[in-house]
Amino acid sequence: MPENGLKTAVYRMDTRCGPPCTSKSHQETPREQLIRYQKYSKFSRPRVSIATIAEAGKVRLFPTGHIALTNAERSAQPAADTVMHGLAIMLFAMIILPCMDAIAKYMAVYQGMSPGQVTFYRFFFQLVSTLPLLLSMGGLRALRPKRLWVNLLRGMLLAAAALLFFISVKYMPLADVFAIYFVEPFILTCLSALILGEKVGWRRWLAIVVGFGGAMIVIQPSFELFGLKSLMPIACAFFFACYLLMNRAVGTSDTPLVMQTIAGVGGSLFMIGAILLGDGLGVADFEPSLPGTGLGWLLVIALGTISGYGHLLVVKAFQAAPVSLLAPFHYFEIISATALGFVIFGDFPTPSKWLGITIIVASGLFIIWRERRAAES
């Protein structure tokens, strides 16, 4: 291969790649020479199809008999610097995404805004922040996704999960809610086995049981203080696991930006209905209101913006680095949430809660490791 910085991958066309070159062979077309190279080469074949390159007229011959393939014609594995770039993006996303939940708690505790109203602003300003970018990239045609109803349902499931999460953080410390919420991988594994028929070995089932035991350690003190509200993070995790299953159904039929924008529409519509119903029943956590201060408006706008672009950062990270490498970084959110909870609200987990958090994280990491082993085998 040539030195770094060169734009082409050069493959030597000499006696090692086929019969010795004759005057007749010099009259061969680029397509014929590439076929001969692939037939006789002792080295790995170019990872480029003949139909894509030769028939498109993109094969170039050097006077010395080399074939040059451009970088765009090679499907090389991600470079090490690309993987590190993906890790950096993922780490940054795990730092800023808990800020969204800290804003939700701040608006509920210090600004007196109901969690239902906060959730509506989260999806409404997510839509407002991502829509201009979507229109600039795809025009009005981008507003017609290939799978509209499925994407709207995704947004509704995500809105239900966010609503339960924001109600939870109003009453409970951020770190506790995050720790309990991270039973989501266990629920997703169960749903994948029950609904999709995926094979789950006994070791992962055991890790799921142990992980739920860790969640109970975290929940137990909170249950004495907050009652059934302390179970809301588990319900949130269930809806988010359903949302992830729905992502598999959607697949790659629409771009992540389109999916995020339409999810903002679905989430906003869901929250309008939820607020009308909840307020009509006299539930305080659904009371409609507007931000009462300039800071309040700034925070709810930031809430939606972080939501929209934070999740796009996660998508970008997974495009740059392997899933198995990035998955454990999700647990960094617990560290970020603990720091934000301590600095802003003065909350810090007790030793027993740290024990539960450790069990949950260890069980989740074990499941990730076992899934990677299963994929490799």
Looking at residue 275, its pLDDT comes to: 96
Distance CA 212, CA 363 (A): 9
- Give, in degrees to the nearest 5, the angle at Cα 244 between 241 and 250: 150
Residues 310 and 276 in one domain: yes
Looking at residue 315, its pLDDT comes to: 80
Residues 89 and 226 in one domain: yes
Is 157 inside a domain boundary? yes
Residues whose CB is less than 8 angstroms from the CB of residue 296 and which lie 6 or more positions away in sequence, other chains included: 107, 111, 113
Domain limit, last residue, from 31, 51, 73? 73
Element (H, E) at 69: strand 67-70
Question: pLDDT per residue over 172-219, tens digit each?
Answer: 999 999 999 999 889 988 888 888 788 888 888 999 999 999 999 988
Element (H, E) at 67: strand 67-70
Residues 92 and 48 in one domain: no
**In 3-state terms, what secondary structure has residue 37?**
helix
Distance CA 73, CA 55 (A): 13
Domain count, the chain: 2
Residues 340 and 227 in one domain: yes
Distance CA 217, CA 187 (A): 18
Residues 142 and 240 in one domain: yes
Q: DSSP class of residue 143?
A: G
Q: What amino acid occupies position 215?
A: A
Is 3 inside a domain boundary? no
Is 104 inside a domain boundary? yes
Greatest CA separation found in the chain?
A: 91
Which range of residues forms the domain containing residue 61? 8-73
Residues 18 and 160 in one domain: no
Question: pLDDT per residue over 59-116, tens digit each?
Answer: 333 333 333 434 444 444 446 678 888 889 999 999 999 999 999 999 999 999 999 9
Distance CA 322, CA 336 (A): 23
Is 166 inside a domain boundary? yes
Q: What is the 3-state secondary structure (H, E, C) of 230-294?
A: HHHHHHHHHHHHHHHHHHHHHCCCCCHHHHHHHHHHHHHHHHHHHHHHHHHCCCHHHCCCCCCCH
* Nearest partner of 178 among 213, 139, 219, judged by Cα: 219
Is 2 inside a domain boundary? no
Is 227 inside a domain boundary? yes
Residues whose CB is less than 8 angstroms from the CB of residue 53 and which lie 6 or more positions away in sequence, other chains included: 34, 59, 69, 73
Residues 271 and 223 in one domain: yes
Looking at residue 330, its pLDDT comes to: 85
Looking at residue 66, its pLDDT comes to: 38
- CB–CB of 187/363 below 8 Å? no
Show the low-confidence residues of the chain (pLDDT under 50). 1-25, 37, 39-78
What sign does the dihedral 236-239-244-245 (CA atoms) show? positive
Residues whose CB is less than 8 angstroms from the CB of residue 323 and which lie 6 or more positions away in sequence, other chains included: none
Residues 87 and 46 in one domain: no
